Structure formats: structure tokens, C-alpha cells
Amino acid sequence: MSLHVEPILPQFGAYCSGLDLTRQLSADEVKQVTDAMDKWGVTVWCNTGMNDEQHVEFSRNFGYLERVPLREGGTYRLPFRELFDASNLNAEGEITQDEAAIQYRKGDRLWHTDSAFMTKRTSYSLLLAHSVPGEGGQTWFADTRTAYDDLPDHMKHFLEDKIGINSLWWSRKLAGADIPDEEIDARFKAEHPLVHTHAGSGRKALFIAAHTMDVKGMDKAEGRQLIQDLIAHCTQDKYIFSVSWNVGDMVIWDNLCSMHKGGEYDYANEKRDMRRTTVREGTEPRSLELDDPFTELFAATPKVVDINAARDSGR
């Protein structure tokens, strides 16, 4: 079978069907998926029938999968270290009452790109729904290529050599966590150009996120205003759409040409079980052993960002 593609916005987002993602794909089928991703930036696959293992196996087609950081004494709900837990559940599968965990997840409801705070960013994120709330809990996506195209020339020129400084803790602070500035200043930050060329399409894209704290060389207040203005520009109605989930649905987004955020739902009362694999940019398909900067980063992290920490179970 071959891929069927149904666009969502004229240049961004598409429903895809016609491939069975539970089995091993041929090289040609993988290329059909990456071609669709390069063109549309976000692809939505309904009712995939995938389990955890198939999710991880399918994701390996696109590069090295980041692993959930290890932390001594941490507990982990999911069976593979390649699965990041985007749910509101604790290790026992019950709705978490842990304030730190609840606070941490609030950061996902700000516009962001995954791993913008790491030196090596995430290219594709692949999020699979295992259980969904009765109402709400959709995910929103924004088109950072078309938004870039539509900027006035003077702004494109101004942004040409600008570098964003990105911090995980900055985004958690924006979401309401109580983290002092000195602590953020003392922790790791990653630098990425605010504009880059998206390799798969050759189109330019903005690269900004809730993690983007400052613009290198700019006055702090002016840089922060610029970041806010760019996020507001990219998230105008004409550049965004939302996905309403059913169990078994998977969405793949390319963080290097989109932003996303989770929608609101009744997270204190309704289970939302979402699991995510995360491909490191610039890596070969099926690479298994690369370095593990996530564990290093999180080892020096306050409890407020500890939700994904796993016990080392030899996986």
C-alpha cells in the first residue's frame, strides 16, 4: 500500500494513512514518511494499533532515540528507556498527586520545541495516545516555516545572525515554578540560531521555544520582548491547528520546523496517558549507542524537573 496524505493547513500538517506502522517498513515506505514530514512538518496517524515496542521500533527508522534520564531511587512507569512519559500518571499508573510532577507538566502547555535546551536538539517527536480524557487534552502545532516566510524583510535581515539562549529551567519558571534567576544562570544553556535552514525542505524556519530565554548580545529586556513577539507571530490562527486524540493515534512532529503545546484538560481527575519517542537531530537510523547528555543534565536538577527520572533497571 502507499501513503495517502490529506493536508490540514495549506502548507502545514497532514493526516496520513495507508501504511501499517506496526510492522517493519521498507526503505521506500520510510522515505514516503520522511518526504511527507519534510513537506508537512506534522503528520497525524489515526488508530495505528501500535504497542510500546512497535512505537520504539518504528521511531528508530528516523535516527537515534533519546533515553529518559536515570536518577538513583527514581521510579519509572514505562517499559523502555526510549519512551518519555507525557502522561499525568505516577509510576503505579494512577493520576499523580505530586505537586512537582504537576508543575513540571505545566511547561508542556506553553508553546515549545522539544529539547531546545540541549545542544543536540530533537528532530522528530512521535507521540502515541494510550488513554485520553473525555474532554480537552488536544495538542496544538504552529508552522515556523511559513511564519518565517511571512516576516517583513527588515525583520528577516535583523534575525539573520541572532542566536537564542535556551534553558529548560527558564520554561518551567515561565510555567510558574519557583526557580530563582541565579539558579537558572548557573545551569546549562544551549545556543541555537533563531533562524535556520530546515534540511529536509531547504526552507528557512524560526527556531524558538518557551525554553528560549535570551538573545545573545541583545539587551535582556529587548531580547525577551523579541522572543515573545516571534512566538506570538508564529502562533497566529493562520499558522496553527490542533489534534484531538483518540486512543492509538500517533502524531509525528518535526521540532526543527514547528512548535507545539498541550491543551488544557481536567488533569486532576482524568487520565491522559501519552508516550513519546524523541529522535536526536543529525543521527543515523537505528543508532543504538550514543552519549547520554540527558542523564548528565538532569543529575544536577532540582526536584521540580524530576518527573521523567528513571530507576536504572538495566534497560
Binding track, positions 69-108, relative to ligand OGA; x by CB under 6 A = -----------------x---------------------x
**Cell numbers given for 301:** 536538577
Closest C-alpha among 124, 140, 37, 33 to residue 82: 124
Exactly one of 57, 66, 82, 114 binds ligand OGA (CB under 6 A); that residue is 114
274 binds ligand OGA per the rule CB under 6 A: yes
66 binds Mn ion per the rule CB under 5 A: no
258 binds ligand OGA per the rule CB under 6 A: no
Cα separation, 215 vs 50, in Å, equals 41
260 binds ligand OGA per the rule CB under 6 A: yes
**Identity at 262, one-letter amino acid code:** G
Exactly one of 125, 144, 201, 235 binds ligand OGA (CB under 6 A); that residue is 125
To the nearest whole angstrom, how small is the minimum distance from the Cβ of residue 125 to ligand OGA?
6
Contacts of 180 (CB under 8 A, 6+ apart): none
State which residue has the least CB distance to ligand OGA: 262
**Cell numbers given for 254:** 518535526
**Identity at 315, one-letter amino acid code:** R
Q: Are 144 and 205 in contact (CB under 8 A)?
A: yes
Binding partner of 308, given Mn ion, ligand OGA, none, CB within 5-8 angstroms per partner class: none
What are 44's strand-pairing partners? 15, 251
**Cell numbers given for 94:** 494512577
Candidate ranges 87-95, 113-121, 154-162, 183-191; the one touching Mn ion (CB under 5 A): 113-121
Binding partner of 133, given Mn ion, ligand OGA, none, CB within 5-8 angstroms per partner class: none
Angle at 219 between CA 215 and CA 221, to 5 degrees: 90
Residue with cell 511547561: 107
What are 206's strand-pairing partners? 195
Binding partner of 204, given Mn ion, ligand OGA, none, CB within 5-8 angstroms per partner class: none
Exactly one of 43, 88, 123, 139 binds ligand OGA (CB under 6 A); that residue is 139
Cα separation, 63 vs 65, in Å, equals 6
129 binds ligand OGA per the rule CB under 6 A: no
127 binds ligand OGA per the rule CB under 6 A: yes
Residue nearer to ligand OGA on the CB measure, 114 or 214: 114
Residue 179's CB is within 10 A of a number of other CB atoms, namely: 18
Binding partner of 127, given ligand OGA, Mn ion, none, CB within 5-8 angstroms per partner class: ligand OGA
**Cell numbers given for 299:** 543529575
Residue with cell 535581515: 157
Binding partner of 223, given Mn ion, ligand OGA, none, CB within 5-8 angstroms per partner class: none
To the nearest whole angstrom, how small is the minimum distance from the Cβ of residue 114 to Mn ion?
4
Candidate ranges 48-56, 111-119, 149-157, 211-219; the one touching Mn ion (CB under 5 A): 111-119
Exactly one of 114, 254, 273, 281 binds Mn ion (CB under 5 A); that residue is 114
Cα separation, 56 vs 171, in Å, equals 27
Q: Are 264 and 144 in contact (CB under 8 A)?
A: no
Binding track, positions 207-246, relative to ligand OGA; x by CB under 6 A = ----------------------------------------
Torsion over CA of 192, 198, 199 and 203, rounded to 10 degrees?
-140
Cα separation, 66 vs 213, in Å, equals 23
Binding site for Mn ion (CB under 5 A): 114
Binding site for ligand OGA (CB under 6 A): 86, 108, 114, 125, 127, 139, 260, 262, 274, 276
